Chain A
Amino acid sequence: MDKFVQIEKVGMTFDTKQGKYIALRDIDLTIRKGEFVSLIGHSGCGKSTLLNLIAGLTRPTSGVLLCANRAIDGPGPERAVVFQNHSLLPWLTCFENVYLAVESVFAAKEPKARLKARTTQALELVGLGHAMHKYPGEISGGMKQRVGIARALAMEPKVLLMDEPFGALDALTRARLQDELMKICEATHATTVMVTHDVDEAVLLSDRIVMMTNGPAATIGEILAVDLPRPRDRLALAHDAKYMDYRSAVIEFLYAKQSHPLAA
């Protein structure tokens, strides 16, 4: 399955009070199965819009999106989303939050004990076995985000979509979660699309980095294939020449070719 997610001639126009706003135009992108793709660009470049289009949360005004050769016509558990602000339900425990997802996907074909086992397994995968029965209000931001990831992974999605999953975390927690995410993706061979504005994060995690031009009417500027062997180690890569090249290529794109809209 070489073309797992296909995005063909997709455009997105919003109707606003000031008239039509073209957010995205002419997006063409194909994602392979098991690939890790990052979407990077300045704020307002429509990278989150593109992710929502793949999720099916918004419908494109033109073009077609396919997942495993089927048109994406709405959101669903086969394309699980890890939301920017974790979006856990505060009145449910971590376990119940994940269980809600597991239940909606597997309840039809599996007994309750199996559903519970799946939930526990997902939480243990992100290292939260000990905090399963706590409420989101009782745990740290990093832990909440891990529950969000566990919830998404527990659904065994075809594609894992992440909207700046670590954006709200401090640098140390972020690094630890990036390492964990790399391990999880390698273990599960998840096809992943991640929105980020962190250059290091993009280079460290991605197989390809999709760099987007500035909005309005944003589109894909360049695509950079990151050819670094896995498993990757952030300490070893810190002085790796190839890593530095990739890093400067992204920075070059962001700050020279697409200088920040406010600076322009």
Chain B
Amino acid sequence: MTAITSCEAPAIEKVGAGGPAKLQLPSPPAATPAPAHLTGPSSTESDAAVMRPALGIIRPYRSLLAAMRPALGIILPPVVGLALLIGIWQLATMNGGSIPTPGKTWEAAVKLFSDPFYRNGPNDQGIGWNILSSLQRVGIGFGIAALIGIPAGFLLGRFATLSRMASPIISLLRPVSPLAWLPIGLLVFKKADPAATWTIFICSIWPMIMNTAQGVMRVPQDYLNVARVLNLSEWKIVTKILFPSVLPYMLTGIRLSIGTAWLVIVAAEMLTGGVGIGFWVWDEWNNLKVEHIIIAIFVIGIVGLILEQTLLLLAKRLRMES
């Protein structure tokens, strides 16, 4: 009961803050021009409403705008896209309801990130700690998966019999939702934390095994013939021929694995509790701080994006070297 009132009360407050004037009238027209003239995604709707009377000032900047057109062509569409998202969000939420408006979420985010590393006991820690402990779980689970998955992939790629042996097992286990593995983890490890790590491990191992094996199988026969004619030792074959030619495949596997791991960690933490972004989402749901849930969605998305882009960059660099 109390939770519901605390959720609705700020929504009403916001309408007052957005425009001090008579409720609906200024807001809808302001929402339409906003995406077109916004230059930074950070400006909120209420800012746009303030800027509106100053439209005439934009005209002298036309020539400058023309000069910047190529750059704008790249930057503008994504900015407009984001602005549209925020605009729709604003339109959908400004009449109240349980979802907070962008402005209110932004305020909450500023407050949240102004002190990301506080600790008030085990269940109340800053957002920074939550993100870091999720990353740590993903790192450990993924690291173990890489340590086992990549060599396993090499073996499966090199020995056809082994590959045929493993193929039914992999085909059977791969489509299983990682969360189905969580009870097994809890049973074996008796603790929530290693169980979450185990879930990450099991879901991120498959792409690495399969991509590495694929890469090994696709090593050009020419290179293997070179190895045979030069009479290279098995060590040299692995380090000078197999590893470099499998590397791009391996990196693809790693990228997919990390993506899956990051997807799964939220769900796993929701079920296991402790400190972590997934648990935090659940905790904020119990507190009915919906704006924090929305912030978490953005944070999860941004961290996932950073992980993915970092690996893409790494793969690109390695490819340029080879």
Measured CB to CB, the residues of A under 8 A from B are 55, 57, 74-77, 79-81, 83, 85, 87, 89-92, 100-101, 104-105, 155
4 residue pairs, one from A and one from B, having the closest CB atoms: A91-B322, A87-B222, A91-B244, A75-B228
Given contacts A85-B222, A89-B223, contact A100 B232 (CB under 8 A): yes
A77 partner residues in chain B, CB cutoff 8 A: 229-231
Give the CA-CA distance A248 to B225 in the complex, in Å.
Answer: 36
Given contacts A100-B236, A104-B236, contact A91 B229 (CB under 8 A): no
Given contacts A87-B223, A90-B322, A91-B321, contact A57 B228 (CB under 8 A): yes
State the majority secondary structure of interface residues on B. helix
B231 partner residues in chain A, CB cutoff 8 A: 75-77, 104-105
- With both beta carbons as reference points, the residue of chain A lying nearest to B243 in the complex is identified as A91
The answer to whether A80 touches B240 (Cβ under 8 A) is: no
A92 partner residues in chain B, CB cutoff 8 A: 240
Given contacts A100-B236, A100-B240, contact A89 B226 (CB under 8 A): yes
The answer to whether A104 touches B225 (Cβ under 8 A) is: no
- With both beta carbons as reference points, the residue of chain B lying nearest to A86 in the complex is identified as B222
Contact of B230 among A74, A85, A90, A104 (CB under 8 A): A104
Residue among A81, A90, A91, A92 having the largest count of chain B Cβ atoms under 10 Å: A91
The answer to whether B240 touches A104 (Cβ under 8 A) is: no
Give the CA-CA distance A57 to B228 in the complex, in Å.
Answer: 8
Q: Please, what's the 1-or-0 string for B135-146, where 1 marks a CB less than 8 Å from any CB in chain A?
A: 000000000000
A104 partner residues in chain B, CB cutoff 8 A: 230-233, 236
Give the CA-CA distance A104 to B226 in the complex, in Å.
Answer: 12
B226 partner residues in chain A, CB cutoff 8 A: 83, 87, 89
- With both beta carbons as reference points, the residue of chain B lying nearest to A90 in the complex is identified as B322
The answer to whether B225 touches A57 (Cβ under 8 A) is: yes
Within 8 A of A (CB), among B212-246: 222-223, 225-226, 228-233, 236, 240-241, 244-245
A155 partner residues in chain B, CB cutoff 8 A: 230
- What's the nearest-Cβ distance from chain A to residue B316, in Å? 15
- With both beta carbons as reference points, the residue of chain A lying nearest to B318 in the complex is identified as A91
A90 partner residues in chain B, CB cutoff 8 A: 322
Number of B residues near A (Cβ < 8 Å) is 17
- With both beta carbons as reference points, the residue of chain A lying nearest to B226 in the complex is identified as A87
- With both beta carbons as reference points, the residue of chain B lying nearest to A152 in the complex is identified as B229
Supply 5 further A-B pairs (C-beta < 8 A) apart from A85-B222, A100-B240, A104-B231.
Answer: A77-B229, A91-B245, A104-B230, A104-B233, A105-B231
Given contacts A83-B222, A85-B222, A87-B223, contact A74 B321 (CB under 8 A): no
Given contacts A75-B231, A76-B231, A155-B230, contact A89 B225 (CB under 8 A): no
The answer to whether A55 touches B223 (Cβ under 8 A) is: no
10 A–B contacts from the bound complex (CB under 8 Å) = A75-B228, A77-B231, A87-B225, A89-B226, A91-B245, A100-B232, A100-B240, A101-B230, A104-B232, A155-B230
- With both beta carbons as reference points, the residue of chain A lying nearest to B321 in the complex is identified as A91
Give the CA-CA distance A141 to B321 in the complex, in Å.
Answer: 19
- What's the nearest-Cβ distance from chain A to residue B319, in Å? 10
- What's the nearest-Cβ distance from chain A to residue B139, in Å? 28
B236 partner residues in chain A, CB cutoff 8 A: 100, 104
Give the CA-CA distance A76 to B322 in the complex, in Å.
Answer: 27
Give the CA-CA distance A36 to B230 in the complex, in Å.
Answer: 22
Given contacts A87-B223, A91-B244, contact A76 B229 (CB under 8 A): yes
B229 partner residues in chain A, CB cutoff 8 A: 55, 57, 75-77, 79-81
- What's the nearest-Cβ distance from chain A to residue B183, in Å? 45
Q: Please, what's the 1-or-0 string for B243-260, where 1 marks a CB less than 8 Å from any CB in chain A?
A: 011000000000000000
- What's the nearest-Cβ distance from chain A to residue B240, in Å? 6
B230 partner residues in chain A, CB cutoff 8 A: 77, 100-101, 104-105, 155
A105 partner residues in chain B, CB cutoff 8 A: 230-231
The answer to whether A89 touches B241 (Cβ under 8 A) is: yes
The answer to whether B244 touches A89 (Cβ under 8 A) is: yes
- With both beta carbons as reference points, the residue of chain B lying nearest to A155 in the complex is identified as B230
A100 partner residues in chain B, CB cutoff 8 A: 230, 232, 236, 240
B228 partner residues in chain A, CB cutoff 8 A: 57, 74-75
Give the CA-CA distance A76 to B236 in the complex, in Å.
Answer: 15
Give the CA-CA distance A74 to B228 in the complex, in Å.
Answer: 8
A83 partner residues in chain B, CB cutoff 8 A: 222, 225-226
Give the CA-CA distance A105 to B229 in the complex, in Å.
Answer: 11
Given contacts A81-B225, A83-B222, contact A89 B232 (CB under 8 A): no
Give the CA-CA distance A163 to B322 in the complex, in Å.
Answer: 26
A75 partner residues in chain B, CB cutoff 8 A: 225, 228-229, 231
Residue among B223, B230, B232, B322 having the largest count of chain A Cβ atoms under 10 Å: B230
Give the CA-CA distance A155 to B231 in the complex, in Å.
Answer: 11
- What's the nearest-Cβ distance from chain B to residue A96, in Å? 9
Give the CA-CA distance A186 to B233 in the complex, in Å.
Answer: 32
- What's the nearest-Cβ distance from chain B to residue A79, in Å? 8
Give the CA-CA distance A79 to B229 in the complex, in Å.
Answer: 8
- What's the nearest-Cβ distance from chain A to residue B95, in Å? 60
B233 partner residues in chain A, CB cutoff 8 A: 104
- What's the nearest-Cβ distance from chain B to residue A59, in Å? 12
Residue among B225, B226, B229, B321 having the largest count of chain A Cβ atoms under 10 Å: B229
Give the CA-CA distance A55 to B262 in the complex, in Å.
Answer: 51
